């Protein structure tokens, strides 16, 4: 039975959660991913009425249900997913940003296996990369130069590089 919205234990996914609880473990059971993993968000087209519908103008499907997906980089095989139902849709550790928590949750179970995850600037941060390093998970991603905690030596004003070289050099230095 559905718990009313606003009360403890409410789940906007209560009808689909039993299916989701079967799908993710099945993905992991039937496929062993290669070393390189990819993490990004995806949009499931949905024209109905739900309070957690998202708008992502850069995606081909602009309106729908947002999912965070962990996939194998080479084949695109989905390994894990989290449906985003709002900032309170999953528990966060104290002092951890939403984007960091998404990455940590999706990579749970991949510790100490030598995997490397590629991500975009929404997720990448020095603090996240250090947390992943502690879990023996490599990380590589684009970064925003004014991101909180970004080392001074990686900021554009500190680098004397020619046009077009900046990104690849920063990626090499941020790769852990």
Where residue 173 falls among pLDDT bands split at 50, 70, 90? very low
- Two tokens, residue 167: 């990104």
- Average pLDDT of the chain? 80
Identify the pLDDT of residue 115: 93
Listed by start position, the domains of the chain span 17-174
Burial class (CB in 10 A: 0-12, 13-18, 19+), 18: exposed
Neighbours of 134 (CB within 10 A): 10
105 vs 148 pLDDT, higher one: 105
In CATH terms, is domain 17-174 a member of 3.30.9? no
* pLDDT score recorded for residue 133: 93
Q: CB count, 10 Å around CB of 64? A: 19
In angstroms, the CA 81 to CA 27 distance is 10
More confidently predicted of 91 and 22: 22
Instruction: Burial-class residue 160 by CB neighbours within 10 Å (0-12, 13-18, 19+).
Output: exposed
């Amino acid at each position: 039975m559905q718990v009313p919205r606003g009360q403890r234990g409410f789940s906007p996914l209560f009808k689909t959660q039993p299916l989701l609880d079967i799908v993710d473990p099945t993905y992991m059971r039937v496929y062993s991913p290669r070393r390189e993993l990819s993490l990004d968000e995806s949009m499931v087209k949905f024209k109905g009425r739900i309070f957690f519908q998202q708008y992502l103008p850069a995606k081909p499907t602009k309106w729908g249900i947002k999912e965070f997906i962990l996939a194998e980089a080479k084949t695109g095989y989905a390994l894990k997913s989290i449906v985003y139902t709002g900032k309170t849709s999953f528990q966060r550790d104290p002092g951890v940003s939403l984007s960091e928590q998404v990455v940590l949750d999706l990579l749970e179970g991949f510790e100490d296996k030598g995997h490397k995850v590629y991500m975009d600037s929404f997720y990448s941060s020095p603090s996240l990369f250090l947390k992943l390093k502690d879990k023996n998970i490599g990380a590589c991603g684009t970064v925003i130069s004014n991101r909180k905690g970004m080392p001074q030596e990686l900021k554009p004003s500190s680098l004397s590089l020619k046009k077009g070289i900046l990104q690849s050099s920063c990626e090499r230095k941020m790769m852990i």
